[in-house]
Amino acid sequence: MKYVDEFRDRAKAEFLVKDIERLVAGIKRDQSRPLQIMEVCGGHTHSIFRYGIEGMLPKSIELVHGPGCPVCVLPMGVIDDCVAIAERPNVIFTTFGDAMRVPGSRKSLLQAKADGCDVRMVYSPMDALALARRNPSREVVFFAIGFETTMPSTALTVLQAERDGVENFSVFCNHITIVPTIKAILDSPDLRLDGFLGPGHVSVVIGNTPYEFIARYYKRPMVIAGFEPLDILQSIWMVLKQIREGRCEIENQYARAAPESGNAVALEAIARVYELREFFEWRGLGSIDHSGVKMRAEYAGFDAERKYAMPNLKIADPKSCQCGEVLKGVIKPWQCKVFGSACTPETPLGALMVSSEGACAAYYQYGGVRRRSDEAAVEAGAA
């Protein structure tokens, strides 16, 4: 295939759906529950709803939405730390757009900006470094988030700042790692997953080898998946084919972009700049060992955690918000008590409603739940 519309071919999609139905019919399984396949990446969740893939599948398959959106797993305490840095005089605080709207216990970064803090949206850490060069009398802090997908760009920016002798640039590092996260999900007693759609973007960087433990020790198949409709349908088909044949392997559907061994240059930059944290706090999942990275001591001059005092407190989510259960795949977004009422993209209570890759935002935009509730309100009003 050469063009994107070829990955959205209706005839090919219908053929895959029919073969998925044939595979499911031949799988010996517990008839009391559907086959559960988790898509780890938030980009997959967005595509699944955008293209209506979940509605195309037989009822005997349930797609479980995992914690694959880095914005969505930010705990309130981290946002409070960001606000504390942004409120310091002489600081320009920079971040990606979605992170500006994640609620903290007091306010979001967007609200801090409205209150007079110099908070700016950037498209890459290099944009933040350019700001530091243009403002040598001010401190520029970049809020670094994301899985291994975005780790290399932050690391390479730090290395560039070191080469250029830029001393007023630092990074508040909150990058997270995918493998301990998947392990924590597999160890959760609440879930009985039958397979995984692996994260395509992360796999472009780290390759496929780090996932081998999923097949070897947990006996679950995983297929690294692309993000177009045919990518996702074919990856589901590949997972089901493994289940049907009694295999548990790591397969790569996204081979056109994700090499088996990953990206050597990116991995070298990651190893040079970061080291694993002992533990990292996740919204809804709690503390997961070695699931985040921090700056190595050699780059302390670029480490905002070392440069600035922060509250560093653990803040519980609002009791009405059930982001944690949604992140773990225990409930669907529409089953949350405040979904679509107190919690909307305009007034989010939880991070899952903020990011475009969050499961709640995807359900709200594409799932039809909001429209059904609106129609019911209209009918009630007419009555």
Asked if 124 and 158 touch (Cβ cutoff 8 Å), the reply is no
Cβ neighbours around 359 below 10 Å, total: 30
Residue 153 CA, chain-centre distance (Å), reads 17
pLDDT, average across residues 242-260: 96
CA separation for the pair 172, 220 (Å, rounded): 35
On average, the pLDDT of the chain sits at 89
pLDDT, average across residues 81-94: 96
Of 73, 15, 74, 18, the C-alpha closest to 41 is 73
Tokens of 13: 């999609």
Residue 55 three-state SS = helix
Give burial (CB, 10 Å; 0-12/13-18/19+) of 219.
exposed
pLDDT at residue 210 greater than cutoff 70 = yes
Note the pLDDT tens digit of each residue in 285-304: 788 899 999 999 999 999 99
CA separation for the pair 154, 25 (Å, rounded): 47
Note the pLDDT tens digit of each residue in 314-361: 777 777 878 777 877 778 888 888 888 888 887 887 778 877 777 888
CATH number for the domain whose boundaries are 1-319: 3.40.50.11740
Residue 325 three-state SS = helix
pLDDT at residue 262 greater than cutoff 60 = yes
pLDDT category, 368, cuts 50, 70, 90?
low
pLDDT at residue 376 greater than cutoff 50 = no
pLDDT, average across residues 8-22: 95
pLDDT, average across residues 97-103: 88
The pTM (predicted TM-score) of the whole model is 0.88
pLDDT, average across residues 182-188: 88
pLDDT category, 1, cuts 50, 70, 90?
low
Residue type, 57: L
Residue 72 CA, chain-centre distance (Å), reads 7
Note the pLDDT tens digit of each residue in 130-178: 999 999 999 999 999 999 999 999 999 999 999 999 999 999 999 999 9
**In the chain, domain spans:** 1-319, 323-382
